[in-house]
A = this chain, B = another copy of it.
Amino acid sequence: MANLITIEQKILKKNADLALENRREIEGRGLYALGLVSAPGSGKTSLLERSLAALQGRIRCAVIEGDVQTDRDAQRIAALDVPVVQIVTNGTCHLEARMVQEALPRLPPRDLDLLFIENVGNLVCPSSYDLGEHARAVLLSVTEGEDKPIKYPSMFRTADVLVLTKIDLLPHLDYDIEAARRFARQVNPALRIFEVSTRDGSGMDAWTAFLAEQVAARQRAAG
């Protein structure tokens, strides 16, 4: 295994270098970039759709979509008239900085404020790969069980924001949302936590206000 570990370290080092270049490129364009990660089916694309609709006319958004196969998610985003670039990883279980580096030049060259990077649905592997985003939001749907943060700690430790999704289903579940928050804070006390339903819109105002703040803060920092 020693050889494999050395190669993995080299890959992660190379990835970190490329992520740094991505971040420079992203900042050079005056963009704030947010990564979205979660298990398959936690609602990343649905949250994106609702966020893009809510921000329309206020904040100019673009999306990089990562999928193992198919461009179904990119099609959902393109239907909203938002610039989107699809990365199909062909079996690879996570996005890497080099894939994002290839995607960036395919975005419109200017007049954008906010770039979402939606990763492959996977609560393990994407946590190791910096893509050059400014912050990472991990989604956890309330149908998935409370204990995921301690069972998949690396993903929650490397995230800045936790979005608890599908909260409209809470009345139909035996789910202890306080326990989920407690487990998440146990792994990462600094996590900022939102609770949303893209179905009935609960919590979407607070979430989109947060996005707008982050964009404004980045633009102030860029002068």
Contacts and interface: CB of A to CB of B under 8 A. Distances in A.
A51 interface: no
A4 interface: yes
In the assembly, how many copies of this chain are there?
2
Interface stretch (A24-32, A55-63, A144-152): A144-152
Interface string A139-173: 00101110110111110000000000010110011
Interface residues of A, number: 39
Interface in A184-222: 199
Contact of A93 (B41, B67, B125, B148): B125
A39 interface: yes
Interface string A1-12: 001100100010
A100 interface: no
